[in-house]
Amino acid sequence: MAAVGTWGFSQPAVERLRSLISAGQHATDAVEEAMAEVEDDPETGRHIVGRGGFPNSGGVVECDAAIMEGTAGRFGAVAALRGVGTPVRVARRVMDRSPHSLLVGEGAVAFAREQGFTIEPNDNMLSEHSAKAYQEFLEKKQGVSGCDTLGLIALDKMGNITVGVSTSGAPFKSPGRVGDSPLPGCGLYAEHKVGAAAATGDGDKIMCHCPSFHAVQLIKMGLSPKEACHRVMDDIIQRTAPDRFFEIGLIALNVKGEVGAASSVDFPYTFWSQGKVVETSTQPPHSTLTDDGTEHFKTHAE
């Protein structure tokens, strides 16, 4: 049994995962429950998640969420979903009850309504903090820094592994913009008897590299989650000019309960393994100059 979450604010969610999994809950049920509690809390909206998250450029909160089990074909996601404070619950219904895997915009709203979710007015989705930030954006064109996303991975007693992600997306984004979070292989990926991974950061860039799929495939080849995450980061660095290197954090968990992470920024994350919930962090790669003057980036795994 084990669990891991992106960023320091995931600690209560990882604690919740520990409690649910220890009580015998399936990994999917545990991820949905723990993630929904964070999504529906306006205070965690400042971390770009769910209710209280930052709206798009038109002032509307649009959320993306996805959930994926290790079992092949078990995936569900929503994107640009309006009016639902717990989008991961809608993503779960997509996985369980829809013939489709990803629903967006008005289609996601219609499906949520059919499934019995209340579609709330946009004012209910804003918090005092996010409404004020939006007014400053309108008046001063002042943005908000940071690319937080909640990613959770859980391994239960039966060996089931599930990953979920949730975000309100880039603050003041264009209406309808979707990042990496709800895209399988990009924001999240899981494979039975192997492991799972989740990404956070600049979604417009992350989706071009499919880091979550890459990390799980490396674990499948025998690398530890830590080695896999750093190998993915190395690969991205090699294919990205240093001045265009973007914000990304990557977490992974294998079915042995081993955890790993890598990032391009100072990246705190929380994990539960061997009985304790611990918050730690991973550092960005550092550069050195080779004899010919070429800049070479090294991760802390090297």
Sheet arrangement for strand 102-104: 102-104, 75-81, 63-69, 161-167, 150-155, 2-6, 267-273, 276-282
The first and second tokens of residue 165, run together, are 């992600």
The first and second tokens of residue 198, run together, are 């989740």
Q: Is 118 a catalytic residue?
A: no
Q: Find out whether 122 and 81 touch, Cβ atoms under 8 Å.
A: no
Count of CB atoms within 10 A of residue 128's CB? 9
Q: What angle do CA 160, 66, 252 make, to 5 degrees?
A: 50
Catalytic residue among 86, 149, 282, 299: 149
- Reduce the secondary structure of 215-257 to three states and give it as a string: HHHHHHCCCCHHHHHHHHHHHHHHHCCHHHCCCEEEEEEECCC
Strands annotated E in 21-83: 63-69, 75-81
Rounded Cα–Cα distance for residues 63 and 56 (Å): 10
Residues whose CB falls within 8 Å of the CB of residue 83, separated by 6 or more in sequence, listed in order: 109, 112, 119, 120, 121, 122, 124, 125
Active site residues: 149
